[in-house]
């Protein structure tokens, strides 16, 4: 086998994979939409009946509460963190875009491990 054959076979498989993923995604999206509809009905029932959960012979639907946080004003937030030494409000993650800029400028960031992964990409002609 030569590189042209390998490339052709790879592109054919990628095309088939994308077609299958699209079909599956459409079916899964339809199922998810139906599930969201039923979740709305179940939530309405539980709220109207004043229950947190309702045991049935098929299972137990229950209400969960998810709380999320987004920064609405970065300056205000970081000023608060600095003034109150509230570093526990920060996550321990490196901003990849900024770190790449440091790497390009050959600046070493203390405490940060850099890893590189080589992958193969194939463009269709």
pLDDT per residue, tens digit, the chain (125 aa), is 899 999 999 999 999 999 999 999 999 999 999 999 999 999 999 999 999 999 999 999 999 999 999 999 999 999 999 999 999 999 989 999 999 999 888 888 999 998 888 887 888 87
Q: What is the pLDDT of residue 1?
A: 80
**pTM, two decimal places:** 0.66
The answer to whether the beta carbons of residues 52 and 62 sit under 8 Å apart is yes
pLDDT at 77: 96
Nearest residue to 45 via CA among 66, 60, 65, 29: 60
3-state secondary structure of 122: coil
CA distances from 75 to 14, 80, 83, 85, 108 (A): 45, 9, 12, 15, 26
């Amino acid at each position: 086998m030569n590189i042209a054959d390998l490339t052709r076979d790879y592109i054919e498989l990628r095309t088939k994979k994308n077609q299958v993923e699209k079909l599956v995604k459409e079916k899964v999206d339809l199922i998810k939409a139906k599930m969201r509809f039923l979740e709305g009905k179940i939530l309405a029932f539980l709220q109207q009946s004043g229950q947190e959960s309702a045991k049935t012979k098929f299972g137990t639907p229950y209400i969960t509460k998810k709380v999320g946080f987004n920064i609405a004003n970065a300056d205000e937030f970081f000023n608060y963190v600095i003034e109150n030494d509230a570093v526990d409000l920060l996550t321990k993650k490196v901003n990849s875009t900024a770190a790449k800029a440091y790497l390009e400028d050959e600046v070493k960031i203390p405490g940060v491990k850099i890893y590189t992964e080589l992958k193969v990409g194939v463009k269709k002609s």
